[in-house]
Chain A
């Protein structure tokens, strides 16, 4: 089978035939991949910004069909239409599963074992998540697989594996934004647009999108932003947020850009008793927050990975929202590319031209 392999970071992926995948072991499922979307966190790994063993296989926004199930898998059968998520639905037994916080399942660390071998016999490390989706078949733990209705287009469904849920879930699950509270979303890419969508869904107002490109900010309005701030044009963006929020700063700030400077700026945009949620995968340390500011303002600075979703509950729920016309997915897809042209898809995302590019295998 074919795969797009990263042999060296910062270089184009190598499309290679003759790759094999392990058969599903106990509790595992082999999937025939139909589509895998390219996420910005793939780029972090492929560029070497986040280190990873090589050669590696990236891609984690995947949808497809169950091909084969391993021993002990009872809830899935060959032919089932599925999304492979990055967030585990949990072992069901550990402390976090028992209290309903399944995304913190203590077993989730075991998911990063390589499953693929290239024709030279090298094992391919999993990059940017436990899926390995830039390949025709993959084998994953059943906890990452969610069955979905057969009638949803799989390119849309794949977005629910990470981008949509990370943005939407940060607002709805992690922060539980209250209606009529003010929200800033920093960054209007694939994740940011979904935070905006989640905030609009929750009844936030005003809902302020912050980015550097007018074209993206215009798109953000389509997802529910009521105000936009272009950082390249606004002299004092923090003051601009305060002007829109009765001088106080926002009740919630979601930083979907993976940069510590963006987190610092986002935190400044947040008002007293607010919550700033770090969503984008920023490398490096955050250094310049005065401790006294926390005390006098009671601001909360927190993070959210994967939208704190309960995969087996939230993914089907989001699909029903999509089918009811209450969740935008179509508008998130910029282009479709066959695996052979994956490097074009990656380049286009890197340049900020695209929200999501989809690699198709069917």
Chain B
């Protein structure tokens, strides 16, 4: 089968034939229909996140079950599925208490490498998926069956970008009606945080970015106000929009330390700054505790939208089908695997929300 392999950081991916192992106990092989490019794929290709090289990236995947391994009960061959990077063991404290995204074993590597090139060199699976390939081999817990009439390019977006933003607001922060929300960054994740805030009745919903055209798009997803961080005195603008207090929730979807610090300054007393975007590894956040104590601000992280895949993905799909969740508008371009480097370049430039690699 064909895959796009990253052999060297910051160089184009190599499209070549590779070998994938057969599914073991509790594993499934999925024939990939679509894999969207996420910004964290770009982080991996630039070496901003630690990870083994060579690897096959891509983790926002949907496709069809090709072959279930022994002991797999929740899906059968032919089932359309979303594939996520979120594995869960079903046995640890967090799995037992309904927080499988915090599974203590979620990043447990497979017993043996599953993917090799024709020279026999093992290739890592980016995000435990490796979706820039015709087939992926993942754990049963990483797949969720979806209805047959769900378009798989849109379904693929649910496995990471949509849930990280939407779930960050709805599951992690549990924003309530009439609470004020700032979303920093109007990219693939940020726009879904805006969508989530709109869904739960937040007001105002203030989007902060440096590109006016992206913020205009955010308005279509429910943002009520735009603040251009470059042009305006952003903190001042936000205070004006929130009765002088700052926002009750600030979601930082931009992977930058400066953005987190700025986000904290946008947050109201007793408000919460939710860090979602992944800053490059090694960079540290530095601030005076006095920014927290006299105003009792909370600073928290949000991982994968605190998503419970088996419950949330089917719910999001029915919301999409009934017109309550926008997915069509998130896709900027569709590319065959052969043109993946163009798609990556476009994502890196920040031209679109999501570019999707199509396999069928």
Contacts and interface: CB of A to CB of B under 8 A. Distances in A.
Interface of A: 92-93, 95, 98-102, 310, 312-313
From DSSP, what is the main secondary structure of chain B's interface residues?
loop
A326 to B, nearest CB: 20
Contacts of A93: 73-74
A312 B311 contact: no
B97 A98 contact: no
Given A92-B90, A93-B74, A100 B96 contact: yes
B307 to A, nearest CB: 12
Nearest to B74: A93
B90 A101 contact: no
Contacts of A101: 98
Contacts of A98: 98, 100, 308, 310-311
A99 B98 CA distance: 4
Contacts of A310: 96-97
B93 interface: yes
19 contacts: A93-B73, A93-B74, A95-B311, A98-B98, A98-B100, A98-B308, A98-B310, A98-B311, A99-B98, A99-B311, A100-B96, A100-B98, A101-B98, A310-B96, A310-B97, A312-B96, A313-B93, A313-B96, A313-B97
A54 B158 CA distance: 53
B99 interface: yes
B86 to A, nearest CB: 13
A88 to B, nearest CB: 12
Contacts of B100: 98
Contacts of B308: 98-99
Q: Which 6 A-B pairs have the closest CB atoms?
A: A100-B98, A100-B97, A99-B98, A98-B310, A92-B90, A98-B311
A136 to B, nearest CB: 32
Contacts of A100: 96-99
A341 B96 CA distance: 40
A100 B74 CA distance: 18
A101 B96 CA distance: 8
Nearest to A75: B91
A209 to B, nearest CB: 31
Interface in B298-317: 308, 310-311
Residue in A100, A102, A313 whose Cβ sees the most chain B Cβ within 10 Å = A100
B167 to A, nearest CB: 14
A308 to B, nearest CB: 12
Contacts of B74: 93
A22 B74 CA distance: 30
A33 B97 CA distance: 30
A108 to B, nearest CB: 16
A99 B97 CA distance: 7
Nearest to A92: B90
Interface string B272-315: 00000000000000000000000000000000000010110000
A99 B94 CA distance: 10
A90 B100 CA distance: 15
Contacts of B98: 98-101
Nearest to B90: A92
A115 B98 CA distance: 32
A202 to B, nearest CB: 18
